[in-house]
Amino acid sequence: MKDSTKKEVYSWIKTIVVAALIALICRHFLFTPVTVYGKSMEPTFQENNRVVVSKTSEIGRFDIIVFKAPDRDEQYIKRVIGMPGDRVEMQDDVLYVNGNPYEESYIKGKDEAGVNRITGNFTLDELTGTTIVPEGYFFVLGDNRLKSKDSRDFGFISADAVVGKVKFRFFPFEKMGMPK
């Protein structure tokens, strides 16, 4: 092989290795792709949607996060409803956080049987034995409340269990973009 050909091959190998290292570092520390499984986030996300999760974004109320499931060896995707220090309750399908009502436009209007009640009434005290979300934890709910296993079932989510915040849907292509 000629010296110029060897240099060209070496240059390509070096470029590919550096690109692969950058991709691995970004995926491990900055962002990662995640596949949505189940119906708990419908209509926002459907089964097999693919999203990009930012591992460095700050999490706020109503953000969608991916976290390590407390009851299984998998990851869940849910919406943050309660932040540390918040009081959360649901009365007649109206969400109250710290006594303020919030409209949840991302929730389906009716269940499959045409019943209007989407979320059963609850207070944090009834579900968890405490009146506020503890420091370092989140209270999460799925958007499809009738088909979601969430903080109503397994309690608060530790901030340490959070993989990251959903930033972008890249599949299916016709729904590509920022989630709402």
Q: Which residue, chain included where needed, has tokens 């189940």?
A: 38
Catalytic (active site) residue 40: yes
Catalytic residue among 40, 148, 151, 165: 40
pLDDT in tens, the chain (180 residues): 677 888 888 889 989 988 888 888 777 777 889 999 999 999 899 999 999 999 989 999 999 999 999 988 999 999 999 999 999 999 988 999 999 999 898 886 555 555 566 788 898 888 888 889 999 999 999 999 888 999 999 999 999 999 999 999 999 888 888 877
**Catalytic annotation present for 78:** yes
pTM, 2 dp: 0.83
Q: Going edge to edge, which strands form the sheet with 157-158?
A: 31-35, 50-54, 162-171, 64-68, 75-82, 137-141, 157-158
Identify the CA nearest to 44 among candidates 163, 157, 175, 170: 175
In terms of residues, how long is the chain?
180
CATH fourth-level superfamily of 32-175: Umud Fragment, subunit A (2.10.109.10)
- Domain extents in the chain: 32-175
